[in-house]
Every structure is written in structure tokens, then in C-alpha cells.
Amino acid sequence: MASSAAAAAATDRAALVKAFDETRTGVRGLVESGVSAVPNIFRHPDPYASVPLAPAGVSIPVVDLSLPAPLAAEAAAGAARHWGFFYLVNHHALVPPGFTDGLLAAVRAFNELPAAERAAHYGRSVDGGVSYSSNVDLYRSGAASWRDTIQVVLGPSRPDAERIPAACRAEVVGWDAHATAVARAVMALLCEGLGLRGATLEEASCLEGKLMVCHYYPVCPEPERTMGIVPHTDPGVLTVLAQDGVGGLQVKHTNEDGESYWVDAKPVPGALVINVGDLLQIMSNDKYKSVEHRVVMNSHEEARVSSAIFYNPGKRGDSVFYGPLPDLISSGNPPKYRNFTMSEFLGAFFKRDLASKALIEHFKI
């Protein structure tokens, strides 16, 4: 009887998910329709009950690009070792002042177009390297999250720019170049922090595989019942994030006493947020760490907007292998992970839940 009830519930959920998706207007469309409660497909059981919030005053570290290179490298390496996240400030030589504000405003403008105009772009196929939909894992997850997303594959193959919504096309294309300059500088600092040549990660093609996601988190009528993004780690090498002033990103941190808590990565004017991905934890042989993070629903009366670019190796042939960087391996520091191709890595990622750290465990020796 219990199994029959579970099967019926799964069938009902599948029908509700399909009906929501076929509106082609995303979560923003629910808000426009005037919903006063979070629909069941978006409800998460006790989404904020597991780990406490950090004590007042705890914050992710800051790395200042205006410091002399050795000091900036030391700061970046320390943040990557102990936190996996940091704010990057004084990057104006790489990003024109105000550019990220313009990017986020353009993404907001697209998401707040009339429903019929957004619906013309809606779909799950990444045709031409571009898609706009709600929840990339909508049909696989146990509970959907309260967000809509423009996704653009920027490399190794270039996207069809004409498929990027016109409301944010110029800004998305421009951000690719500026964010990659930031990623190049940060990767150099992180290499130097490991005692490696600054170009080591770039020479391993880690700037060539690029996926951009522009998330829009509408105002939510019951913020305690759902999430913007569930706890997860990023699978790639490095993430460069621009976020608006609304806030909602939280990072899980474990202190020296073994206590874990969620730390608000509050918006800092002019700062980008950088985080280590699973691949960099592997390539650094656990010197740097990829940590869980999430987006919580906020009580603001304004939607949250963010834009992240995930950097991954672009060389993906069956004869190209990744794993701990050879120059880090010695008799005193043996490899903790086996080598693998990007095809195997990506296959393992897509077979697992977005929120699972088992991806790294899969490649441990």
C-alpha cells in the first residue's frame, strides 16, 4: 500500500512539474500570477534546519588585487585553503567600474519583460549554447528551487550570440572577456600560492571551458519553505560570481574546532566572489578546498540577480588526463586522487545530484 501511495505521489508530482514547465514563464510567472503560497513542487522539507548560522562578525576573507603580487598570492592561497571562498576587490584594471552593475541590471531587465516575451526564449535545449529555463534539474530533483536561469556555454566552443536574449546580449558577451581576465589573474595567484608557475592552470586549459549562468530569484511569498539553490559544491576549477545588493548566498565553513556553520557572503560594493571548485581541490591534491554553499530566500521586496562563470579545462580528448598536478606530488605528498578524462569527470557529475560531494570521493585513490 505504501509503495502504491509513493508511486501515485511521484506521478502527481511529475504532472505538476510538467504543467509548470509548459507555462514557459518560470518562477517569475508564478509571481506574476499572484501566488500567495509556494507550490508543492518547490517546497523543501526543513530547508534551513541542519547547520546553524555563523556567529556575528564572521565573514569570508578578502583578497586585494592592488597588493604586491606576493602578498596577494599569499592571501588568495590562504583563503582557498581555509575557506574555499573569498571576496576579490580592487580588480578595476580588469573590469571597468560599473560593468557588473550594468550586467546584473540587464539580466534583471530580461527577466522582468512581459511573460510572452520571456516565453519566446524558454526551453531546455542548449541549442547554440544558450538556454533560458527554470531549474536545470527540474525533472530530476526532489524539490524545485525558486529561480529562473539564462545559461550560456562560452567555451570551448563559442555560443551563437544571436540566441542570447537581446535585453542582456551585449552585457553577457562583454562579461565573458572581463571575467576571464579576472579568472586568469586569480588562477595565477593560486598557482603561485602552491609554489607553481603562475601559468600552470592556464596551460592545463583551465580557462577554456566556460559556462555562464545568470540567475534570477523572484520575490517569494513563503521564503521559509523553499530555497534559491540547495547546498552544493561547484564541480569545476574556479567560479567568478557577480551578485547584486540583495544577498542570499551562504558558505558552509568549518572552523579550527571542527564546528560548522553557514556564513553570509553579503554583497560588498565593487567586490566579486571567487570560489574553488571540485576540480581545483583535486588538482591541488587537497591543498585548496571546494566547500558547500547555497542561496537562501530573502525577505526583501526585490528579486535577487547574480551571474557566475564556471571555469573548467577545455581540452577533453580521451588521451588528455587530469588529476593532481605533477609538480605537487612527491614521496611526502603522494596523490590522493587518480587521473581521469574530462568525459569521465563530467559523466560522473551528471549521474549525481548537484548537491553531492560524492563527485570528489569518486576519484579518490
Determine, yes or no, domain membership for 11.
no
Placement of cell 530569484 in the chain: 217
The pLDDT tens digits for 10-59 are 678 999 999 999 999 999 999 999 999 999 999 999 888 879 999 999 99
Q: What is the C-alpha to C-alpha distance for residues 364 and 342, in angstroms, rounded to an integer?
A: 16
Residue 296: its pLDDT value, please?
A: 96
Q: Is 36 among the domain residues?
A: no
354 pLDDT exceeds 70?
Answer: no
Which pLDDT score is estimated for 176? Answer: 98
Name the grid cell of 156: 570551448
Confidence class of residue 200 from pLDDT cuts 50, 70 and 90? Answer: very high
Largest CA distance in the chain: 68
pLDDT at 7: 58
Q: In angstroms, rounded to a whole number, what is the distance separating the alpha carbons of residues 196 and 73?
A: 11
| CATH number of the domain that residue 313 is part of | 2.60.120.330
Task: Report the range of poorest mean pLDDT among 78-82, 87-91, 145-149, 355-359.
Answer: 355-359
| pTM summary value | 0.95
Spatial distance between the Cα atoms of 172 and 355, rounded to a whole number of angstroms: 27
Q: Is residue 29 part of a domain?
A: no
For residue 33, tell me if it sits in a domain.
no
Instruction: State which residues form the domain around 323.
Output: 65-363
Strand ranges for 90-228 from DSSP E = 130-133, 148-155, 209-217
Take residue 248 and report the three cell numbers written for it: 542570499
Q: Which is higher by pLDDT, 220 or 347?
A: 220
Domains held by the chain: number: 1
Confidence of residue 193 (pLDDT cuts 50, 70, 90): very high
Name the residue type at position 258: G
Residue 252 lies in a domain: yes
pLDDT tens digits, one per residue of 250-309 = 999 999 999 999 999 999 999 999 999 999 999 999 999 999 999 999 777 899 999 999
Share of residues in the chain with pLDDT > 90 (%): 88
Tell me the average pLDDT of the chain: 94
Burial of 196 (0-12, 13-18, 19+ CB in 10 A): middle
Residue 234 lies in a domain: yes
Q: Is 13 a member of any domain? A: no
In a domain, 82, yes or no: yes
pLDDT digit string (tens) for 315-326?
A: 988 999 999 999
Per-residue pLDDT at 11:
73
pLDDT at position 5: 55
Across 18-81, where does the E strand assignment appear?
62-64
